[in-house]
A and B are shown apart, each in its own frame.
Chain A
């Protein structure tokens, strides 16, 4: 029997979406939010294609903040080079860990299908699959493109609207670009879980313009040199 099935109030969330859509930022922010609520949280890097990028450069920082982080460490990478698809045993059996599990499913196009590598993922009654969409990325910058993209992704339980331009984001862009995400969600019959906005814009966003909560996030990925 899977151990997670004996727990009733655990949270298991998988963040999927286009390459560079903001999956890692959403996963990190969610993990830290749960941690602040006093919960035990495991953050799992599921980038099976390029495991040396993604969360590796931030692992120590996030561990210092109290998260359990399953990702490659710099010292684990010796000799691996270009081994192709990579999955650590810790990631494969991540759902056996104690606490909430936040899965950062890297490298976009395979979407939730990567979860077939995680033991018990599909059987879990707790798993929620959240697709992160940035409508200021050309691949997902119209209703039709988002719909086409999400239909191709497989199972999606809800959408996170994360439209931004990095340092160049402003209130107007947050309002207009995320409306595109809402129209796509309506067409697909999916709910938008929340609108993610850089905390630098806190106080400037007319939150009432959105029918769902606005969640302010801190951007951690620029701390990884290559981001």
Chain B
């Protein structure tokens, strides 16, 4: 694969541009996409850069097709991806479900916008439920929620490896603010950091006679009988559960003696991080917990954090009306810590909002 970035360097970019450079560095060979704000510049930059590096692009007729063409390309052994948002994410649930059913290494970058429906073009965290558990399956997906441009770069690269290693559809969940924001980060070739990229391989058309040289393999998204489907879904669920410890990622600060634990994800966690520092300066013992993987969720880690801290309360802050909150409740079922919420669907949350809320509930 041709060098894309060369020597590691600092760069000043938007989040969408960062996605594109990371996908190039990760060795993505083709992007399929359909325009939607706020992910458009992922496509714009990809179409400008792809020809320079021998990569390809196809704009399909809609998001359903963009998702399915990714499903097709990865079966042919191509490292492929797409990017979308909002209603585009809704339409792609059908191909994302196919990727779950057939265990396809699909990679999708989601830049959340406001909802429901077309909502706003700007920003939100309302695609948590859709991205983690959308579709008519069991949510066997890997979802990384990024907070900085450096993380966008790192997790796009990691996302391709997770997809091709574990063969579950993998999502990098950003948002409109991260897409449009500009900030410095370090870009690099994965190899330079000792990151070995999984070499893509064709899933169909393998060499050898079936039965003689190799086992038959079924890549199916439909079965004739209930029992057949049951076996497959149970097997997928077991495999997903087995790899959870390898996948789960989270970040935790100042929780050991915390009276209140603030849980947030994505760009809102930047505000939570600042709020914890400012609250501590004022003598309020606040802690910070952030799931980086929303699927699989760092369930045990959050339970342990609550137990170790002996915190009196937890505050969930998100730019949605309870999607992270719902996820947390289901994951830590049985915990008795009272949970307060700061729910601001479709608008940004700053440190001041979180501090004010904390002071009102302690």
Chain A interfacial positions (CB closer than 8 Å to B): 19-20, 50, 52-53, 81-82, 109, 134, 136-139, 141, 164-168, 173, 225-227
Contacts and interface: CB of A to CB of B under 8 A. Distances in A.
Interface in B166-223: 176-177, 180-184, 187
Per DSSP, chain B at the interface is mixed
B230 interface: no
Interface residues on B, range: 20 to 34
Nearest to A164: B12
A214 B181 CA distance: 26
B100 interface: no
Contacts of A134: 12
A209 to B, nearest CB: 21
B12 A52 contact: no
A52 B38 CA distance: 11
B118 interface: yes
A159 B5 CA distance: 26
What are the 5 closest A-B residue pairs judged by CB atoms, nearest first?
Answer: A165-B184, A168-B184, A226-B177, A20-B182, A226-B180
B76 interface: no
Contacts of A52: 121-122
A185 to B, nearest CB: 20
Given A226-B180, A227-B181, A50 B37 contact: yes
Given A52-B122, A168-B184, A82 B13 contact: no
Contact of A227 (B121, B122, B180): B180
Contacts of B176: 226
A143 to B, nearest CB: 15
Contacts of B14: 19-20
Contacts of B348: 225-226
Given A53-B180, A225-B350, 15 more contacts: A19-B14, A20-B12, A81-B120, A82-B37, A109-B48, A136-B12, A137-B11, A138-B21, A138-B187, A164-B12, A166-B184, A173-B10, A225-B177, A226-B177, A226-B180
A191 to B, nearest CB: 24
B182 A141 contact: no
Contacts of A167: 183-184
B121 A50 contact: yes
Contacts of B187: 138
